[in-house]
Amino acid sequence: MELISKFRLYLNLTFALAWRDVRVRYQLSILGLYWAIINPLLMAIIWAFVFSHIFRAASLNNVPYVVFLFCGLTYWNLFGNSLSTATTSLTGNAMLLSKQYFPRLILPTAAVLARVVDFFFSLLVLGLLMWYFHLSPNWNLWMLLPLLVIELFYTLGFAYIVSSLNVLYRDMAQLVSIVLMFWMYLSPVFYVLQQVPEKARRYFMYNTIGLLVDAQRNIFLAGTPVNWHQVLVSFLISLAVLIAGWTLFRWLEPLFAEVM
């Protein structure tokens, strides 16, 4: 009973902090939360112009390249942006940590949740793009939900790792942004896995987030049947990452107050 009310309290606190993160990002601007949709929309428009009229990029997955790219980036950014804001979620809230005890895990979790809000706005723009190009989503769409949960597990696991390490070593933030850049180009965001040379492709199969982005985009745009075996493996890996991140975080947590 006590435990349940505690859990509810911490859950509410997580949502409140996530909402605060979202508002901090947008509230000082005139257009406020509209930026969350204007930003990806402008991106989509400029890409549509560049890729269809200048590069004349071929369609991938039977959809215009701009739709393909935007869909991939929507799923990648959920991971990438979450990690880059989670990294400083503890060090940036040092004052909150010095006051009252609450599970520190709440801070990186809230940072990731705040990015889920961005993700949904980005999906909305993706819907607009598809409508513009007369593409219709398919009946397999419900499969996106479990895959999204898997991606969130994976993201949270890494968020716990980088946020706690950043307390001890402040250049974690630099490292994360560089690693994320390499990681993005080495993931099937701008291309499909089939374009990767045969020899290298087996290494790409170890990149769980890459596979997740690819799988979700396939479902979204092409309605490709899901490879259950691959989903199961991704799920197990994501769960392992989540548990590892959680464990590392809990292990380092007693040091936070002393180091900051």
Identity of the residue, 8 or 201, whose beta carbon is nearer to another protein in the bound complex: 8
User: How far is it, in rounded angstroms, from Cα 171 to Cα 175?
Assistant: 6
Between 92 and 137, name the residue whose CB sits nearer to another protein: 92
What is the CB neighbour count within 10 angstroms for residue 111?
27
Shortest Cβ distance from residue 8 to another protein (Å)?
Answer: 8
Question: What is the smallest separation between the CB atom of 209 and another protein, expressed in angstroms?
Answer: 23
Interface residues toward another protein, by CB under 8 A: 8-9, 12-13, 16-17, 20, 23-24, 27-28, 95-102, 169-172, 175, 254, 257-258
In DSSP notation, 23-83 reads HHHHTTSSSGGGHHHHHHHHHHHHHHHIIIIIS-PPPBTTB-HHHHHHHHHHHHHHHHHHH
Of 163, 150, 166, 156, the closest CA to residue 109 belongs to 156
| Least CB distance to another protein at residue 62 (A) | 45
Q: Which DSSP letter does residue 190 get?
A: S
Task: Specify the amino acid at residue 58.
Answer: A
Please check whether residue 140 is in contact with residue 226, taking contact to mean a CB–CB distance below 8 angstroms: yes
- Token pair of 136, please? 């219709």
> How far is it, in rounded angstroms, from Cα 114 to Cα 15?
8
Q: Does an H or E element contain 150, and which?
A: helix 144-168
Q: What would the two tokens of residue 100 be?
A: 């009252």
Q: How far is the CB of 116 from another protein (least distance, A)?
A: 19
Q: Which is nearer to another protein, 171 or 198 (CB)?
A: 171
Cβ-based nearer residue to another protein, 23 or 201: 23
- DSSP structural state of residue 101: -
d(CA 239, CA 151): 10
Closest distance between another protein and the C-beta of residue 27, in Å?
A: 7
Judged by beta carbon, residue 141 or residue 255, the one nearer another protein is: 255
Q: In angstroms, give the least distance from the CB of 83 to another protein.
A: 17
Residue 13: CB minimum distance to another protein, A? 5
Task: Considering the complex, state which of residue 186 and residue 260 has its C-beta at the smaller distance from another protein.
Answer: 260
Nearer to another protein, 25 or 123 (CB): 25
Displacement of CA 100 from its chain's centroid (Å): 29
